[in-house]
Structure 1
Amino acid sequence: MKLVVDMNLSIAWVGGLESQGFSVAHWSTIGLRDATDEAIMDWARANSAIVLTRDLDFGVALTRQGLIAPSVIQLRCGRIEHERHLTVVARVLTDHRGSLEAGAIVTIEDERVRVRILDPDFPT
């Protein structure tokens, strides 16, 4: 699975997720630091990557436009604790692989994980 980490998250996510077997790039190594969300989404879609972000705009854009890609993992926690949340993100990538490959918005909150499938033909 390939991921692109949004600018609003630390570059430390790259090493942490790579150490768990995922292919990861931080947006700062790919494109302009002030790129639009649309540019990041276009790159992720073209490269079959999942967007990891704290930003709700990605999910909103997918929903409004009726798109099923790229999948997005949104961290909606009060305070991001890298070690703790790294484990949660890795577990989400493993446990929800099928949903993420089909097209999904996964929201990680302090006490729960919510998965919204974007592909209407995907069995739930």
Structure 2
Amino acid sequence: MKLLIDMNLSPRWAGFLANAGIEAAHWSTIGAANAVDEEIMTFARDNGYVVLTHDLDFGAILAATHGLKPSVVQIRSEDVSPEVIGKLVVDALRQTKIELNNGALLTVDTNRARLRILPLRQ
């Protein structure tokens, strides 16, 4: 599994994840800072990335399109720094690796992680 870190998260996440043995790239090293979410999603899908974000729009895109990929990991916390919630994110990534490789929406907050398999249905 490799992660594509959205612009709304610090580039520090890339180093933090690498130290945990998880391949990751921050969008700022790949594409334009003002890229729309659909462009990021398309790049992630076409290049085998899982999107890591603090933005609810990615989940909404998956729901609206009934998309199967890319998987999305949403961090739902007021403080999204890797020093605060990073261990919880890494633990959730490790526990759901198979599902994320197959297509899933993972939401991680300070109390729990919730996994939904793609495509999202009402």
Q: TM-score, normalised by structure 2?
A: 0.93
Structure 2 unmatched ranges of 5 or more: none
- Distance (Å, rounded) in 1 between the aligned partners of 2:77 and 2:16: 18
Greater RCO (Cα-Cα under 8 Å, separation 6 or more): 2
AA aligned to 1:65 is: T
Name 1:25's counterpart in structure 2: 25
Cα RMSD of the aligned pairs, angstroms, is 1.3
Name 2:86's counterpart in structure 1: 86
AA aligned to 1:48 is: G
Q: Percent identity?
A: 44
Name the count of aligned residue pairs.
Answer: 120
Q: TM-score, normalised by structure 1?
A: 0.92
- Distance (Å, rounded) in 2 between the aligned partners of 1:21 and 1:70: 21
Deviations 1:18-73 (A, max 9, x none): 11111110000000000000000001001110000000000110111010100000
Name 1:68's counterpart in structure 2: 68
Deviation, 1:81, is 4.0
Question: What is the correspondence of 1:87-106 to structure 2 with a 5 Å cutoff?
Answer: 87-106=87-106
Deviations 1:55-100 (A, max 9, x none): 0000110111010100000011122242231111111111001110
Name 2:15's counterpart in structure 1: 15
Instruction: Tell me which stretches of 4 or more aligned residues in structure 1 moved more than 6 Å.
Output: none
